[in-house]
Amino acid sequence: MILKALFLLIALVCMVLLQTLNVNFILTLVITFIVLMVCNYIVGGIERSIHVKALDTDCDPERYLRMMDKKTKRFRKNDRIKNYLAINQAAGYMLLGKMETALEILENIDTSYLSEKNSTYLAYTINLILCYYALGEIEKAELLYQTDLVKLSPVLKRHKKAVEILVGERYYYLKEYDKSYQYLKELLDFDLSKRQYLGILYILAQIEVIKGEHQKAEKKYRKIVKLGNKLWIAKEAQKYLSSLEGNTTIHDCKDGM
């Protein structure tokens, strides 16, 4: 409502100013329309940057989901945008560790509104594959990976990085730990967001625990806890560190006895 009122005010001011300058009425309408489109583009860009910051820099999927809920209400009559936003909502729940909720959202998306050209179908596919892997539905994930993902070409840089990370995580879920570790470790040198960086660190730490390299894993978990804010991996990392402290306490008690 505030944006609508602001745009209406801008339109009125623009039209009055142009009419005061004796600009042709048709030309006034055209110029006003262009001004509104530019304003809408600028506002959209600012809004997107705020959303990205909440998720990728602040690592706050709860705040991100509140933003998506507000935006969904704003576009409740636009089925295309609602389906786009559902992909974002699923991503938010995934980063909270609520994979079942994310999967339910993704499976209810009408894919006829998605497109390969604007990468919405790619984002949907990546999220769906990751949900299947995380929930242990490996066959479904592999089928989607082999049939759909391999046909899609990421256009934007952030989508290319997302696909690269997915490849490394896929090796992990397929229990090809050496491949996963090497692949993901090399990605740390890429231009990653904080969220992506911490996500890779978490998988590397998980593999190190499997290999018995607990000191290496502990360093990574501490970094994830420090920077991960409300990401589910930060909570899981804290559980691991707490278990280490608990074991230390038990050992100390035994030594004292």
pLDDT band at 246 (very low <50, low <70, confident <90, very high): low
Residue among 91, 88, 63 nearest 75 (CA): 88
How many alpha carbons lie under 13 Å from residue 58 in its C-beta half-sphere?
Answer: 13
Angle, nearest 10°, between helix axes 232-256 and 194-210? 40
| Residue 1 in this model has a pLDDT that exceeds 60 | no
C-alpha span between 221 and 236 (Å, rounded):
9
pLDDT score recorded for residue 34: 75
Residue that is written with structure tokens 């048709």 in the block: 26
Q: What is the DSSP letter of 56?
A: I
Q: What angle do CA 165, 171, 173 make, to 5 degrees?
A: 100
Going by C-beta distance under 8 Å and a sequence separation of 6 or more, which residues neighbour residue 146? none
What the block records as the tokens of 48 is 């997107």
Residue 9's identity, in one-letter code, is: L
3-state DSSP of 125-168:
HHHHHHHHHHCCCHHHHHHHHHHCHHHCCCCCHHHHHHHHHHHH
Q: What is the pLDDT of residues 50-83, one digit of tens each?
A: 888 889 999 999 999 999 999 898 888 899 999 9
C-alpha span between 96 and 50 (Å, rounded):
19
Distances (CA, A) of 87 to 50, 125, 204, 249: 17, 9, 26, 44
Torsion (CA) 204, 143, 122, 181 in degrees, nearest 10: 10
Span 36-62, average pLDDT: 79
pLDDT band at 251 (very low <50, low <70, confident <90, very high): very low
C-alpha span between 178 and 168 (Å, rounded):
10
Name which residue leads in pLDDT, 125 or 247. Answer: 125
Residue 257's identity, in one-letter code, is: M
C-alpha span between 125 and 153 (Å, rounded):
12
Residue among 190, 191, 150, 192 nearest 170 (CA): 150
| Residue 39 in this model has a pLDDT that exceeds 70 | no
> Biggest alpha carbon distance in the chain?
95
Q: What is the pLDDT of residues 147-173, one digit of tens each?
A: 988 788 777 788 889 999 999 999 999
| Residue 7 in this model has a pLDDT that exceeds 70 | no
Residue 100's identity, in one-letter code, is: E
pLDDT score recorded for residue 232: 97
pLDDT score recorded for residue 36: 66
Angle, nearest 10°, between helix axes 138-147 and 157-173? 140
Span 174-201, average pLDDT: 95
Residue among 181, 188, 120 nearest 155 (CA): 120
User: Does residue 76 contact residue 85 with C-beta atoms inside 8 Å?
Assistant: no
